[in-house]
Structure 1
Amino acid sequence: MKNRLISKLVKFYEKLRNNGHLRRGKTAKFVLVVIAVITIALYFAMRSAPATNAYTTSWIGNTYGGGSKWVQNYVEGMYVGPDGTVYTNSTWDEAGREAGIYKDGDVLGPESDLHGWSRGGGKAITANSKYIYLAMVQGSMGKINEDYPPEKTSWYCVRRYNLSGKPAGFPGGRGYDKSMLIVSTKNPVTGLATVGNQLYVSIAKANRISVYNTETMGEVRNFSVSSPGQITIDKQENLWIIQGKNGSTPAQILHYSAEGKRLPKVIADVVDPSAIAIDNQGRLLVAENGPRQQVLIYNIAGKPKQVGTFGIERGIFAGVPGEVGDLKFYGISGVGTDAAGNIYVNSNGFHNAGTDLRKFLPSGKLQWRLLGLHFVDNADTDPQSDGVDVYTKHEYFDMDYKKAPGKQWNYKAYTLNPFKYPQDPRLHTSPTSVFFRRIQGKPFMYLIDMYESFMQIYRFNPTTDGKVAIPSAMFFGTVLKDGKVGSWPPNQPQEQKDWIWRDSNGNGAFDKDEYNIRDTDDYPYVGGWWVDSKGDVWKTLRTEEGIRHFPLQGLDAKGNPIYSYSSMKKDKTPSLFTDVRRIEYFPETDTMYLSGFTKEHPAVEDDSGVVGSEIVRYDNWSRGNRTPRWRTVIPHDTTGKREVLTAAMSVAGDYVFAVTVKTSEVHVYNAATGKQVQKLKPGPEVAGESGWIDIPYGIRAFRRSNGEYLVFVEEDWKGKVIVYRLPR
């Protein structure tokens, strides 16, 4: 088609040039010149421009795709108004929705100006008929004259907003807009509640509850309570206060008068009370975040008596463990009711897994659900499923690609069980990226963290654990702090040595005799990790002899993959690299892809988290070939301003994909030649937007059996994972 178009343009130009009438006029000459220029420009443009495939942008993990609507990161405080408006608070949301307002399954908007300028949210929120009161923190900014805290000081505040989410200042208010009430410079607010014209504020570490006038925000009184957390107020205007666990003293729920007098009623049979509310019948609802994972309902007219529950006992771990269900909760962080008795529950997962906000009729029928499941996370697919089964660090999704963008994902399971596996590394570390592999036909999930300091491995056993991922193995380089190893994991080597843990007894715990220790120190700075299709683990170190290969030694009796330092192979970094960063090896074709900084394109600064300046392909790697098939220069910093950086790469089928940090653009290279053939950007389906790529494995690509490519890209800003669908 291109050649036919060029041929027609050339013939048209020749016809004009030979036309006698046109040759005699200045206008004709001008027209001929213009046509000639256009023809030549089209020729060279079409000659140099790569053929591109149309693609679509989709996403997983958030109810909304972006723009003005998204569900915030992990809700930690929640209040439900009489009309069913849900007010929420988080300590952090990347796009600034630390505080959100939701109703009827929709996003009404965020409270304003809570993100940035050393501000953040908190773990408590309440409202009355006129204002929202929100726990927050304001850090110093070196702007004391603009009413910011002095250096090295933070204000722990209650900030007041009107019901539409705009800051509502008051006489004596602090901060740039005079809407902040400073309640402490040492400890955060842990509970908020209002009744009449009084606002109750608890600070657990100060062992104090202070009472303020809701209009003037002046303090009325205060009284002592040991470790007070969330507060709710009953129909008699008395307080029910969660008292957090303090040393050997278990958590319980205390009863106080409005004036601060301790009353005799107490609820002490809840393992982990995480949220409380009064329903429209005057009953006390208590979120039990222990093994029961239910909302417990108490009649408090006399001595508190449990009269019911809401939700399935054991929550998401009942029935098929990990499998999502309407009444299966997990990590409850909020409970509330409206005037009609509808019940609202938020599940946060464990270790800040994400937001799962639901509304139910009093009968227990689900009315709506809002999800915001991802933060610093990316996805991969089970290769056996042909792209249908997709996993992130905590979640499992079933995909239906026939549906519209953003509707293709179905949240099927939450794969972490803190009660059966309290030493699950995901509860103690912050992994960010998944490699999903099949070994001897069995599924395994490998997780890497933002700083590439470890690799965690999980196995699955549907018979014993349903959808839950079982801690199986881990690679780790011990990091000393003050000359000592950290407190987690238990039983780890006490010297500065790399180690591999394997769960040889199958209990998912780090037992003393389960560590394989490297007998010599290794270079401590990791460039990248990889797991190939055979289950071999590869690691690059940022040094001359920097490639480590751990061949899989099979599976043990419990189904764990076996790796050891005695079988580890070392290889030199190819001489063209000064600092190797990423590695992807494909045993089926004996093809190696490496990236890093090179002698011709060195790093301006350290840039430890990025891909480097070049991607290089080697064929016949296992046979010793170290002559590149091709080298391609990728976007990288040349000025020291770090405006242009490539964060991550992924090879799949005929393409190499690489994504930039700040623009979040996916550069697509031909895997046979290294030439760039296309660029992917967030489409209108996600409002054309994305946050920065923060993690070294922020892109993962997969070619389906029909030739279509799925490209998963981290998208922290609006709490999701972007999915590009690129035709073959």
Structure 2
Amino acid sequence: MKRFTLSMTCLLALSLAPHADDARAQLAYTTSWIGNTFGFGDGKWMQQDIQALHVASDGTVYTNSPWDESGAEIAAYRNGDRVTVAGATHGWGAAGGDAVTSNGSYVYAAMSIGNQGGGLVGADYPPNGHTWFGITRRALGNIAQGAPFAGGVGNSANATKNSFLIVDTVPAGADAGIRGLAASDSELFVSDQYANRIVVFDANTMRRKRSFDVASPGRIALDADGSLWAIVGALTGQPAVAHYSATGALLGGAPVLPNGTVPADIAISPSGDLYIADIGPGQQILPYKKTATSALQAATPVGTLNGVNHAPAGAIDAGRFNFITGIGFDSAGNLYVGQNGAGPRGLNSASVGSGAVLQAFRGTSRSLLWELDGLVFVDGADFDPGAPDTVYTGSKIFTMDWTKPPGKQWTYTAYTVDRFTYPDDPPLHIGRGVRGEPMVRRLNGNRPYLYTLDPYSHELYVHRFDAAHGSIAIPSGMFAETFISGGFPANQPSSGEWMWRDINGDGRLGGNEFTGNPSTGSTVGNSFIWVDSAGGVWFGTPTSGIRQMPVQGFDAPGNPIYSYAASKTYPMPAPFTRIGRVLYVAETDTMYVSGFTQAVPYDAARWKEAGPYLARYDNWSTGAPVMTYVIALPWNTAGSPPVTTVGVATAGDYLFVAELYTQKVDVYDARTGAPVGAMTPGANVGGTSGYVDVELGISATRRANGEYVVLVEDDARAKILMYRWTP
């Protein structure tokens, strides 16, 4: 058992109650951001996901997705700028959807309305235990304004009153999302995937006119002759493209798609050609030109073969597509492409995607006209210690140019996920289905390794890089605190803590690559997991002390080797009764611990918080660590909003503590524990940010010029908040 030395200064510090706000000095710093075209100082942000888009003749792009954290599920963009947000699709039972279209009078968008588990009652909501899926109709000139009709329902308290058409009423939890919409000035065509049919409504009265059977219909597009092109079998695993008359008669002429093609969207160009977005390995847009006999002839694909996975793998460039979710044309023939790194929900992914990219390409040259990005959601960021101008998130790499103005300093340079080569990549199957919360470490001859944590620190994922795979992060290892339900990974031990290492180097979770640790039982459950600069993995268990798993070397593929037998265990350090965070600095043998004490005991309602106290311990690994100080952190759970802490980072001579609800980063001198000041979002980001909603939502670095850069998760508007401060 290790012995902890406690100084009289620390004993005095413990008598101080955590404070809500000590009016500490506002530091001289600048605010910037990474990963979103807009910062919100102008009132705009690029939405975090695009599930579908539609392009009007004037180049206005209408988008839709089931969820955007700040309510931009349905939005309009034009000429590289955001025009407006539809609203009334977020909260109070409402959500966006998976399809959108327009005609000369209206915008029609898929959405759903629930009742929040029976908490919402009345004519605006479905009966308890059910959800409505249908279409919201909006005024073309102002999509925030509903276009009501007889029989329309919903939103009686806002500007979209009675503008929702119920298509399906289904049991709560069922997915009856509308996956395709197309409209003429007289008729609205709806892919009712839940009922395996396409339904036709009067575009003006919204009365049902007819329907015809189609197996799992997805995206649809109206041709100039009034016929309908449709993706069929969208959820059967065998999607194809079919051609129908407006009344549902199956027509000939549908193209036979190349092997491996997975059609995600279809569009008709102004010249009448058919374009199909492929999210199979090809990752291209496939044009089929009409001949003199109206037959379709395959033409040269748009975009680079294999998209973002074309060599050099992961590199970002215009035309290297990354799972297209929507395509469309304006009257000038400009092509618009929406992507989210995962593909349409249900067709290829159950998630809300891995960040939104909206691009416009000029006419026949296909040169990039403009691009809008909303790339980061529930994700942290970390600097590469071996490349100080490089920032990683869970799935992306940004390159910084510090000479540029705030919000323009970042360039999106690489995407590190390859779903085709490494379909077993564990974060793609667990939780949100995306990687997040990165820790970048230089190991094994200064090679970069990407460790990522799930939002609430239940699993730690390890990824390696090599020259042959470019910027792709290869699944290398994994730590799990307990058995993971849901069927993945199939070969995991049936109970207890375990880890996996990619012994054969194929990036797959083979059955002989798992190691269980039944001796720990459940003691590591709900630990905070941290990786130090030497690759050591630390578990700050809630009540069983701290465990270290040092790297035991590297195997032939380059995976770090860990062993339960080589673990080192440290008892619960005084004065803590429950640990919230651990952060070990290997270079100085310093341990920082935050959590709860007898003075402020653990409250289960604060399960993801870092805690009201933070302590520094020197000579941690010697057998007689010395506690240098204890800091009473900002803490007032009775406040409105509450004041609590959620993230801790250190760099150089300073500690940075992120508050959960109050949009503040508190700065302390790491040598003495003395408060230095605080940083809050500046005017260029609207003076606000979202909650830091994950356990590893803050990181920091000290640049060679002495400047400190602090990166903070902004859960609200698809970006990373960045503070730059020189003491």
Matched, 1:260 2:280: no
| CA 642–518 in structure 1, closer or farther in 2 if over 3 Å, else same | farther
Residues 246 and 178 of structure 1: CA distance in aligned 2, closer, same or farther (over 3 Å): closer
Distance 1:555 1:480, change over 3 A: closer
Q: Structure 2: which amino acid aligns with 1:687?
A: G
- Equivalence for 1:449: 454
Alignment match, 1:57:
31
2:584 maps to 1:594: no
Counterpart-to-counterpart distance in 2, 1:373 and 1:562: 32
The answer on whether the counterparts of 1:294 and 1:310 sit within 8 Å (CA) in structure 2 is: yes
Once residues 332 and 488 of structure 2 are traced to their aligned partners in structure 1, the CA distance between those partners, rounded to angstroms, is 47
**Which of the pair has the greater relative contact order for Cα pairs under 8 Å at 6+ separation?**
2
Residue aligning to 1:517: 516
1:219 aligns with 2:208: yes
Query: Do the aligned residues in 2 keep the contact of 1:70 with 1:372 (CA within 8 Å)?
Result: yes
Paired AA for residue 184 in structure 2: V
Q: Deviation at 1:693?
A: 1.1
Cα distance in 2 between the residues matched to 1:49 and 1:328: 50
Partners of 1:458 and 1:109 lie apart in 2 by 39
Q: Per-residue deviation at 1:210?
A: 0.9
Unaligned runs of 5+ in 1: 1-47
Q: Write out aligned runs for 1:123-272 (5 A).
A: 123-140=98-115, 142-163=119-140, 164-165=142-143, 166-175=145-154, 176=156, 177-186=161-170, 187-245=176-234, 247=236, 250-269=238-257, 271-272=261-262
Mapping of 1:31-46 within 5 angstroms?
A: none
Which letter maps to 1:380?
D
Per-residue CA deviation, residues 171-206 of structure 1 (Å, 9 max, x unaligned), is 221002101000001212111000231001112131
> For residues 152 and 592 of structure 1, what CA distance do their matches in structure 2 show?
50
User: Is 1:474 aligned to 2:478, yes or no?
Assistant: yes
For 2:395 and 2:497, the matched residues in 1 are separated by: 26
Provide closer, same or farther for how the CA distance between residues 217 and 605 of structure 1 changes in structure 2, counting only shifts above 3 A.
same
Q: 1:536: how far off? A: 0.7
- CA positional deviation for 1:395: 0.7
Mapped partners of 2:416, 2:589: distance in 1: 34
1:344 is aligned to 336
Residue 101 of structure 1 aligns with which residue?
A: 76
Query: What is the rounded CA distance, in whole Å, between the counterparts of 1:497 and 1:642 in structure 2?
Result: 38
Distance, in Å, in 1 between the alignment partners of 2:550 and 2:640 is 40
* Residues in 2 aligned to 1:514 and 1:673: alpha-carbon distance in whole angstroms: 45
Summarize deviations over 1:331-384 as a string: whole Å, max 9, x none. 110111111111111111125111111111121111000000011011101012
Which residue in 2 is equivalent to 1:79? Answer: 54
> 8 Å contact 1:252–1:266 — kept in the other structure?
no
CA deviation vs aligned residue, 1:199-222 (integer Å, no higher than 9, x gap): 011121310111111111111111
| Aligned residues of 1:500 and 1:564 also touching (Cα < 8 A) | no
Residues 125 and 133 in structure 1, CA contact (< 8 A), matched pair in contact too: yes
CA distance in 2, matches of 1:424, 1:524: 23
3-state SS of the aligned residue for 2:218? strand
SS in structure 2 of the partner of residue 672 of structure 1: coil
User: Residue 646 of structure 1 aligns with which residue?
Assistant: 645
2:301 is aligned with 1:309: yes
Structure 2 segments unaligned to the other structure (5+ residues): 1-21, 171-175, 343-350
Residue 389 of structure 1 aligns to a residue whose secondary structure is strand
Identical amino acids, percent of aligned pairs: 42
Runs of 4+ in 1 over 6 A off after TM superposition: 48-51
What residue number does 1:19 align with?
A: none
CA drift at 1:633: 1.3
- Tell whether 2:115 aligns with 1:114: no
1:665-704 equivalences under 5 Å are 665-704=664-703
Counterparts of 1:222 and 1:650 in 2: how far apart (Å)? 58
Retained in 1: the 8 A contact 2:580–2:595?
A: yes
Take 1:287 and 1:683, find their aligned partners in 2: how far apart are those partners?
40
Contact 1:415-1:467 at 8 Å conserved across structures: yes
Q: Where does residue 11 of structure 1 map in the other structure?
A: none
Q: Matched residues in 1 for 2:196 and 2:24: separation?
A: 66
Matching residue of 2:18: none
Q: Distance in 2 between matches of 1:593 and 1:435?
A: 17
Q: Tell me the CA shift for residue 263 of structure 1.
A: 1.5
| Partner SS for 1:216 | coil
Q: How far did residue 308 of structure 1 move?
A: 2.5
Cα offsets for 1:406-462 (capped at 9, x unmatched): 010011011101111111123213343110110131100100011211000111112
Change (3 A) 1:304 1:49: closer
CA contact under 8 A between 2:394 and 2:452: conserved in structure 1? Answer: yes
**Once structures 1 and 2 are overlaid, which stretch shifts more, 297-306 or 118-127?**
297-306
Kept in 2, the 8 Å contact 1:432–1:695? The answer is no
Residues 238-288 of structure 1 deviation map (CA, whole Å, 9 limit, x = unaligned):
0111013455x6210111110111123333425210011000110111000
Matches of 2:387 and 2:185, distance apart in 1: 57
Take 2:321 and 2:626, find their aligned partners in 1: how far apart are those partners? 55
Structure 1 residue matching 2:386: 3-state secondary structure: helix
| 1:527 aligned onto 2:527 | yes
Following superposition, the deviation at residue 146 of structure 1 comes to 4.7
Classify the secondary structure of the residue corresponding to 1:426: helix
Q: AA paired with 1:229?
A: G
Provide the C-alpha distance between the structure 2 equivalents of 1:340 and 1:562, rounded to a whole number of angstroms: 57
For the 8 Å contact 1:604–1:637, the answer to whether it is kept is no
Structure 2 counterparts to residues 312-323 of structure 1, below 5 A = 312-323=304-315
Give 1 or 2: higher helix fraction: 1
Partner Cα distance (1:415, 1:674) in 2: 38
User: How far has the Cα of 1:143 moved from its partner?
Assistant: 4.2
2 CA distance for matches of 1:707 and 1:640? 36
- AA aligned to 2:490 is P
Q: Which amino acid aligns with 1:192?
A: L
Shift of 1:299: 2.6
Structure 1 residue 623: Cα displacement: 1.5
Q: CA deviation at 1:705?
A: 1.6
Between structure 1 and structure 2, the one with the greater Rg is 1
Instruction: State how far apart, in whole Å, the 2-side matches of 1:287 and 1:502 are.
Output: 36
